[in-house]
A and B are shown apart, each in its own frame.
Chain A
Amino acid sequence: MTILTIMGQGMAVLLFAYVAGMLYYGLYRNITARFQKRIGPPVLQTFYDSMKLLFKDEATAFGWMFYLGPVIMATGSVLTLLLLPFLRVWHEGSLSVYGDLFVILYLMVMGPLGNALAVGVSGNPFGVMGVTRGLTRLMGLELPFYIAVIGVMSVAQSSDIWHIIAWQQIHGINMIHYPLLFIAALFSFVGFMGSSPFDVVAAPQEVYSGPRSEFSGKFLGLLMSQNAIFGFAKLLLMVDLFWGGADSIVELILKTFTLFLVTIVIGVVYGRFKVHQAVDFLVKFPTLLGVVGLLLL
Chain B
Amino acid sequence: MKEGFLIEQERLEHEAAASLKSSGLINDIIRYFRKKSIFVLAYGTGCGAIEMPPTFTSRYDAERFGIRGAATPRQADVIVVSGYLSFKTLRRIIHTYEQMASPKYVIALGSCTINGGMYWDSYNTIKQLDKYIPVDMYANGCMPRPEALLEAFIALQKKIENDEEPSGWERYLENIEWYRQNQRAVLGEDIKPAYEADWYTEGR
**Do A and B assemble together?**
yes
Binding site for B on A (CB under 8 A): 29, 33, 36-42, 45, 48-49, 51-52, 55-61, 126, 204, 208-209, 212-217, 220
B33 touches A215 (CB 8 A): no
Interface stretch (choices B67-75, B127-135, B137-145)? B67-75
Stretch from B1-9, B87-95, B99-107, B147-155 at the A interface: B99-107
> Binding site of A, secondary structure by majority: helix, strand, loop or mixed?
loop
Interface of B is mostly: mixed
Given contacts A33-B61, A57-B201, 18 further A-B contacts (CB under 8 A): A41-B66, A48-B33, A48-B66, A49-B66, A51-B37, A52-B36, A57-B103, A59-B100, A59-B197, A60-B200, A126-B72, A204-B69, A208-B72, A209-B71, A209-B72, A213-B72, A215-B75, A216-B75
* Interface magnitude class on chain B: 20 to 34
Residues from chain B with a CB closer than 8 A to the CB of A40 are: 61, 63-64
Question: Are A213 and B64 neighbours in the complex by a CB distance under 8 Å?
Answer: no
Nearest residue, chain B, Cβ from A58: B101
Contact status A213-B71, CB under 8 Å: yes
A42 partner residues in chain B, CB cutoff 8 A? 64, 66
The one of A29, A37, A56, A213 in contact with B101, judged by C-beta atoms closer than 8 angstroms, is: A56
Question: What is the CB-to-nearest-CB distance from A52 to chain B, in angstroms, rounded to a whole number?
Answer: 4
Tell whether, in the assembled complex, residue A52 and residue B64 are in contact, meaning their CB atoms are under 8 Å apart.
no
B64 adjacent to A59 (CB under 8 Å) = no
Residues of B within 8 A of A57 (CB): 101-103, 201
| Chain A residues near B66 (CB-CB < 8 A) | 41-42, 45, 48-49
The contact sample of 25 A-B pairs, CB cut-off 8 A, is A33-B63, A33-B64, A37-B58, A40-B63, A40-B64, A41-B63, A45-B37, A52-B36, A52-B77, A55-B30, A55-B34, A56-B101, A57-B101, A58-B101, A59-B74, A59-B99, A60-B200, A61-B200, A126-B72, A204-B69, A209-B72, A213-B74, A216-B74, A217-B101, A220-B75
Say yes or no: B75 contacts A52, CB within 8 Å. Answer: no
Measured CB to CB, the nearest residue on chain B to A41 is: B63
Enumerate chain A residues within 8 angstroms of B72, measured Cβ to Cβ: 126, 208-209, 213-214
A42 vs B65: C-alpha distance in the bound complex, in angstroms? Answer: 8
In the complex, which of the residues A57, A212, A214 has the most CB atoms of chain B within 10 Å of its own CB atom?
A57
Q: How far is the CB of B175 from chain A (nearest CB, A)?
A: 19
Report the separation of the CA atoms of residues A52 and B61 in the bound assembly, to the nearest whole angstrom: 21
Mark contacts of B165-200 with chain A using CB atoms, 8 A cut-off: 1 yes-contact digit, 0 otherwise.
Answer: 000000000000000000000000000000001011
In the assembled complex, the CB of A228 is this many whole angstroms from the nearest CB of chain B, namely 15
Contact of B58 among A36, A49, A52, A61 (CB under 8 A): A36
Measured CB to CB, the closest approach of chain A to B156, in angstroms, equals 14
| Per-residue interface assignment for chain B, residues 75 to 98, with 1 indicating a CB less than 8 Å from any chain A CB and 0 otherwise | 101000000000000000000000
